[in-house]
Structure formats: C-alpha cells, structure tokens
Amino acid sequence: MLSTMTSTGVRSAGTEPARAGSGAGGTDSATRAPESVQRLIEAGAEAFADKGFHATTTRDIAARAGMSPAGVYVHFASKEDLLFQLSLRGHQRALEVLEAARARRAAPPEQLADIVADFAQWHAEHFRTARIVQYEFPHLSPEHRDVVLRLRKDIDAIVRGVLTAGVGSGDFEVPDVPGTTLALLSMTIDVARWYEPGIRRTPGAIGTAYAELALRLVRP
C-alpha cells in the first residue's frame, strides 16, 4: 500500500522517500488526476510537441493551463519531471497499442498488417504525444531515460517477433530481421513528424497504406 506518489498520483521525484496513504483525508482521495493536473499534462504535451522541451518555458506551460507559474510545481517536481510523465505515458500507450494489435489475430501476415496499421495510425492521431515520445527522449534525465528505454526495447521486440514468426512460418522472406524491424519502425514513427491535422490523408488511411507497404517489404 505504500506509494511514492503524491495524492495526485503524478509527482515523481526519483530520490524521494515513499509516502503512505492519503494523509488526513478521511474519504477516498485516490482520485487519479485532478483537473488541474490534467490541464497541465495537456498544456505540457502541446507545448513540448510544438516547440520542443528546451524552447518551452514553465511560464508558457502554466499559461496554457490557466495557472500561475508557481502552480506547476505543486504537481510536478520540475519541468523535466513533467516531460518524463508525458514520455512515460506516451511510451506505455504506444506499447499497449502494439500489443493489442498483435493479439488480435494469429497469423504473421495479419499480425504485421495490424501492428503497422495501428502503430502508424496512432502516430498520426496522437502526433503530439508521439513527437514527445520520439524527439524529446534525449532530453530526459539519464535516470528517466533508462526507465523509458525498457519500453522502447519492448516496442522493438514486438515488431521483431512478428517478423521472426513470419520467417519461421514461411510467410515472409526477410534477409535482415533487425534491419527490417528498424526500417519498419522508422517509417511508422516518422508519421508523427510530417502528420498534421487537416492533411489530405486520414490517420486510418495512413495506417492502411503503411500496412500494405510493410507486407510488400517482406513478401517472398
């Protein structure tokens, strides 16, 4: 029952001691994300995705969240901490999307089509989060980078696993599995860079197109 998180469940200062329960509050105070935290998270996501971590000021984030500059530090230990929360959630979500797509069907060709389609679509629909996940990763503190790195390896492993399975079943011909894994991820990840709302292609159509490209890439 011990938790290192504050009552908002968001603060994460790596070095701080664990903390028990919810303090004096008699009632259930475990509500996950108070509105102010939610607003800060959205403000941070928008600002970081838009201008990058270092070009974003805490004043900017606070203003977007309709808050004073000091308000940020009630909920997050630092600007980098807010970035970490965003990056972590983003990576977790990306991994979930991939896992769900792989689990949906059994044969490698369908699995590959699904994971590529859903992953590409996710990078379009959630391009702000995806940009933070991909481009702001180097700006995390070394400790936070390590945490996120595990999730990134999991993501890679899923794609590689499907390719390997397809080679094993004879459905795919892939001379270089790690290289092709990387190329597939490069393609889909890059969607977050060039996508913007209002563009000609819808996220769904992008997903479909990339699934087809992926299958063309691995066919015998």
Partner DNA sequence: GTCTATACCTTGATAGAC
Partner DNA sequence: GTCTATCAAGGTATAGAC
Give the interface with DNA as residue ranges (CB under 7 A).
Answer: 6-8, 34, 36, 56-60, 62, 66-71, 73-75, 78-80
| Nearest in space to 128 (alpha carbons), one of 47, 12, 212, 38 | 47
| Nearest in space to 191 (alpha carbons), one of 131, 125, 134, 124 | 124
Q: Which is nearer to its own copies, 33 or 187 (CB)?
A: 187
The entry of DNA, its own copies, none near residue 52 (CB within 5 to 8 angstroms by kind) is: its own copies
What mask of x and - would describe binding to its own copies in positions 72 to 111, judged by CB under 8 A? ----------------------------------------
Q: Which is nearer to its own copies, 165 or 213 (CB)?
A: 213
Would you say 134 and 192 are in contact if contact means Cβ atoms under 8 Å apart?
yes
Binding footprint of its own copies, residue count (CB under 8 A): 29
Rule CB under 8 A: which of 31-70 touch its own copies?
52-55
| Nearest in space to 156 (alpha carbons), one of 196, 180, 185, 116 | 185
The entry of its own copies, DNA, none near residue 209 (CB within 5 to 8 angstroms by kind) is: its own copies
Angstrom CA distances, 199 to 117, 189, 192, stand at 18, 17, 13
Q: Is 51 helix (H, G, I), strand (E, B) or coil?
A: helix
Would you say 31 and 17 are in contact if contact means Cβ atoms under 8 Å apart?
no
The entry of DNA, its own copies, none near residue 48 (CB within 5 to 8 angstroms by kind) is: none
Question: At closest approach, how far in Å is the CB of 50 from its own copies?
Answer: 9
Q: Rounded to whole angstroms, how far apart are CA atoms 79 and 86? A: 11
Q: Which is nearer to its own copies, 95 or 217 (CB)?
A: 217
Q: Rounded to whole angstroms, how far apart are CA atoms 114 and 142? A: 33
Question: At closest approach, how far in Å is the CB of 56 from DNA?
Answer: 6
Would you say 214 and 112 are in contact if contact means Cβ atoms under 8 Å apart?
yes
| 123 binding its own copies? (CB under 8 A) | no
Q: Rounded to whole angstroms, how far apart are CA atoms 127 and 171? A: 32
Task: Summarize as ranges the residues that interact with its own copies (CB under 8 A).
Answer: 52-55, 135, 138-139, 175-176, 179-180, 182-183, 186-187, 189-191, 193-194, 201, 209-210, 212-213, 216-219
